[in-house]
Amino acid sequence: MATMLEGRRQTQPRSSPSGRETSLWSSGFGMKLEAITPFLGKYRPFVGRCCQTCTPKSWESLFHRSITDLGFCSVILVKEENTRFRGWLVRRLCYFLWSLEQHIPLCQDAPQKIEESTGVQNLLSGRVPGGAGEGQAPDLVKKEVQRILGHIQASPRPFLVRLFSWALLRFLNCLFLNVQLHKGQMKMVQKAAQAGSPLVLLSTHKTLLDGILLPFMLLSQGLGVLRVAWDSRACSPALRVLLRKLGGLFLPPEANLSLDSSEGLLARAVVQAASAPLGLWTGALAVLRSLWSHWGCSRRICSRVHLAQPFSLQEYIVSARSCWGGRQTLEQLLQPIVLGQCTAVPDTEKEQEWTPITGPLLALKEEDQLLVRRLSCHVLSASVGSAAVMSTAIMATLLLFKHQKLLGEFSWLTEEILLRGFDVGFSGQLRSLLKHSLSLLRAHVALLHIRQGDLLVVPRPGPGLTQLARLSAELLPVFLSEAVGACAVRGLLAGRVPPQGPWELQGILLLSQNELYRQILLLMHLLPQDLLLLKPCQSSYCYCQEVLDRLIQCGLLVAEETPGSRSACDTGRQRLSRKLLWKPSGDFTDSDSDDFEEAEGRYFRLSQQSHCPDFFLFLCRLLSPLLKAFAQAAAFLHQGQLPDTESGYTEQLFQFLQATAQEEGIFECADPKLAISAIWTFRDLGVLQQMPSPAGPRLHLSPTFASRENQQRLEQFIRQFICS
């Protein structure tokens, strides 16, 4: 597994004895690719827009019209112009003066508002179980409310907040060269804040630095003090007192007690009434330890903060409830097909309960719990789509998939990312970008000088390959539709041609549209919901058509006209008055399947263009680590020691993945996150069952999959989508 990087400029390409060009500049791109820019033409792609189906008003009103013309700013760059004063002394004290001018809003009547809220008043009056009417004096309940409220929050101290902001500004300037923020994204957030409604901020936590960086960024942009939720177990009591005065919120331990506990009921009512603009800080001490160990003695780095388009939660609730339809669990959808009991895929959507179950969530009604889960899908989809792809992810993908020409392939992959509407977080000279990326990956690759000016890049086996696989997973959302389609085609061809058969032989076979839809649906149901990022308002059949369209657009599939069938482009004899040719994407009626019955006569072939085999293999390999981990988890079922806790069985499976990686040399699957994902998927599929016990919930092997035969069927079902 080696990749060549040529270090000198070539004026004429060299040729190998076989006639194939080996120069990195012989890929046909020429010298125009010497510089990489994150633009398609004049503008860079805008990412992270909210759902147009569920929040059309927010999609239109909270979008900044001139966003493509706005650039970036560094939030830690504070100069004389950022203060009201001028002069040489101001230039030396600009950090301190800036912190003094920050607006710190105070809310002195917050405790009174919380005590007067509906949920707390119902408890005080005894109108709900566990309140004062069940033997507890109202004064005692009121004191308990005040105690819980004192544990949750305190009024921010402006002096401490300004002092902390000044110290943090100096600290971040010592750590970063710059912290980039897109001005257009910030304009949209500021426009949403001006509406007067509370602003709720959710973070995907790319790094531990998010807990420090995000509140400072929002304070510096005029959004005030961010009230931040902390885990009370993450710090000492003395530190909790300080952080509460800086705007921290500490959730009381009683909030996660059982639903029939009066203490838990009272704590959850106070927490719901105490909602303010919320962020999420966890583990500040771990942040400082990480900074000291990783960046304390190294050079400064650059960072970039991404903000997705805000949307109205009230508008989403109204729209989301109106388009709910019937859904089935993964066990109902997929288990009969895995066991060979049926072949037809049910015409319904999948409901996967992957949201962590907590006390506050269980306190909600079942309808509200479903709303929270589907809202989480929307938020996660927008946040992942708004993140820029970094150069290390592209380099890791090229190294992991054995690409031979780094210069040309790096440029090609960057262009493909931009064409798909995703942003990249780098620009500059091509050679400098590659050298910088390799320097960041130096712990996971080996650089060998083989000729004058030529460099051989070899990924280090073992944990180095696992880390490269984690970085390459950042490209999966960009090519996810094409990757799902390629693996579905692989599953369709699995029983017809040998896996190692030539591409020309596979291109002879005709693939019907109905068969492609079926394979895509099967793989869609198998993949975890947090990976697939399918919006709840989007039907599965619409996604199938999107996948098929992507395969045709990228040139992997070509339409094949069968004898006697109507041409795909012949619309003259279609009876438009009888049936509409399109339907809205949010239509969940049974009539959606009528259009797919007309696809029985449509067939496709694999394209025979020269670039198609490599691109097909590239797409399949993007999903290979996850699918191989699932297949190995199925093979481990007869070896695992069950019953066991979820964490215990996860450790068992992870050790098995590591042992298999050592034997087969496939370290991409030896990832604890993949082990957790496999266990959650098998639990939803009905392979594993979670049973209560005195020591806590434990996992058991389902009686259906206790037989070795059904375990092999599950493994075979998964392996059909893996391209070796």
Which pLDDT belongs to residue 93?
84
Q: Is the pLDDT of residue 501 over 60?
A: yes
Q: Give the three-state DSSP class for 269.
A: helix
Mean of pLDDT over the chain: 75
| Closest C-alpha among 175, 258, 266, 161 to residue 215 | 161
CATH entry, 624-720, from 1.20.1260, 1.10.10, 1.20.58, 1.25.40: 1.10.10
- Amino acid type, 601: G
How do residues 290-305 score in pLDDT, each as one tens digit?
Answer: 555 544 445 677 888 8
Which pLDDT belongs to residue 97?
84
Find the distance separating the first CA and the last CA of the chain, reported in whole Å. 15
Distance CA 468, CA 447 (A): 15
Distance CA 368, CA 617 (A): 43
Which pLDDT belongs to residue 86?
85
DSSP string, 297-320: TS--EEEEE--PPP--HHHHHHHH
Which pLDDT belongs to residue 165?
81
Q: Is the pLDDT of residue 422 over 50?
A: yes
Query: Higher pLDDT residue, 517 or 579?
Result: 517
Q: Is the pLDDT of residue 573 over 50?
A: no
Which pLDDT belongs to residue 716?
95
Distance CA 286, CA 485 (A): 41
**Residues 247-269: what's their mean pLDDT?**
53
**Residues 507-513: what's their mean pLDDT?**
83
**Residues 640-645: what's their mean pLDDT?**
92
Which pLDDT belongs to residue 459?
86
Reading phi first (left if > 0) and then psi (alpha if -120 to 50, else beta), residue 395 is in alpha
Q: How many residues does the chain have?
A: 724
Split at pLDDT 50, 70, 90, the class of 122 is low
CA dihedral 620, 625, 626, 627 (to 10 degrees): 60
Query: Higher pLDDT residue, 153 or 530?
Result: 530
What's this model's pTM, rounded to 2 decimal places? 0.79
CA–centroid distance for 375 within its chain: 14
Split at pLDDT 50, 70, 90, the class of 254 is low
Instruction: Domain ranges for the chain, please list them.
Output: 64-106+140-253+299-308, 391-474, 624-720
Q: Give the three-state DSSP class for 467.
A: helix
Q: Is the pLDDT of residue 592 over 50?
A: no
How do residues 335-353 score in pLDDT, each as one tens digit?
Answer: 999 999 988 888 778 876 6
